[in-house]
Amino acid sequence: MPSTDPTTFVLPGSALAQAAPGPNMMIVTLVGWHVAGWAGMLVTSVAKFGPAVLARAIRQTAN
């Protein structure tokens, strides 16, 4: 399980999320990892990025 100490989560995690391209999209994955480990990271990533990927796939098949 990830550390619950705010200094080990917030500072490096926020720096990583800020360095990634996009408007803080990676912070969702980081929070999921912090709350529930790898499973939380997977669930939050799919919840955040899944609908857009699915919509794009549907649009591509409609053309």
Residue 34 has pLDDT above 80, yes or no: yes
At 33, the pLDDT band (50, 70, 90 cuts) reads confident
Q: Who has greater pLDDT, 20 or 62?
A: 62
Per-residue 3-state assignment (H helix, E strand, C coil) for 5-50: CHHHHHHHHHHHHHHCCCCCCHHHHHHHHHHHHHHHHHHHHHHHHH
Give the Cβ contact number of residue 54 at 10 Å.
Answer: 10
- What per-residue confidence (pLDDT) applies to 42? 93
The domain locations on the chain are 6-62
Asked if 48 and 28 count as a contact pair (C-beta separation under 8 A), the reply is yes
Segment 50-63 shows an average pLDDT of 89
H-run or E-run covering 4: none
pTM of the model: 0.62
